[in-house]
Amino acid sequence: MKIKEIIVVEGKDDTIAIQRAVDADTIETNGSAISSSTLEQIKLAQQVRGVIILTDPDYPGEKIRKTITDHIPECKHAFVDRKDALPKGGKGIGVEHASPEAIREALKDAHQMDGLAEEWISKEDLVDAGLIGGPRARARRERIGELLKIGYTNGKQLYKRLKMFQITKDEFIHAMRVILQEEAD
């Protein structure tokens, strides 16, 4: 599977994992303190071929994603599920631990964020759905992130990401029905 866009990852181990999964070029940020020269390289890559950001599903990965998006908002975003980014018997979490299948699935579902999306889902909808402040909130957020292909988030990030990806109320309701059905089984 050949990927036209350049994939932004955190480090060398992520590049190796990407290359096991697909035929693609990468840019490595080498951590969350992204240099101005790396940002310029990503900006050029976006103009020439397009960019997909695929960072670890953790706080530093989100920080990198936000930094790049603040400078180059046109990039696409791909998310590896947290469960797929855990090492077998080791510590840490990261793209480098994901299987080639999980990486291909994440790249296939890459989205372009749109910070100007119409507000279709309210914060009250998230509370009512048990995604914020309930005993199952974290598990439900993790599952809705998988179903909607927007990655795991905390409550505040979920609201923002639903807006950015223009998730409609119908898509949201459908995903919640799946979650509630799974909980009932």
Number of Cβ atoms within 10 Å of the Cβ of 32: 16
Number of Cβ atoms within 10 Å of the Cβ of 104: 16
- Decide: 55 and 10 in contact? Cβ < 8 Å: yes
Cβ within 8 Å of residue 157, ≥6 positions away: 62
For 97-146, the pLDDT digits (tens) are: 999 999 999 999 887 765 444 447 888 889 999 999 888 999 999 999 99
pLDDT of residue 90: 72
Comma-separated ranges of CATH 3.40.1360.10 domains in the chain: 1-113
pLDDT of residue 114: 58
- Decide: 91 and 46 in contact? Cβ < 8 Å: no
For 28-61, the pLDDT digits (tens) are: 999 888 999 999 999 999 999 999 999 999 889 9
Q: Residue range 3-26: average pLDDT?
A: 96
pLDDT of residue 155: 86
180: pLDDT confidence band, cut at 50, 70 and 90? very high
Per CATH, the number for 1-113 is 3.40.1360.10
The pair of structure tokens assigned to 16 is: 């190796």
Q: Residue range 68-83: average pLDDT?
A: 92
Sheet holding 6-9, edge to edge: 26-28, 6-9, 51-53, 76-77, 111-112
Q: What is the mean pLDDT of the chain?
A: 90
Query: Does residue 96 register a pLDDT over 90?
Result: yes
pTM: 0.70
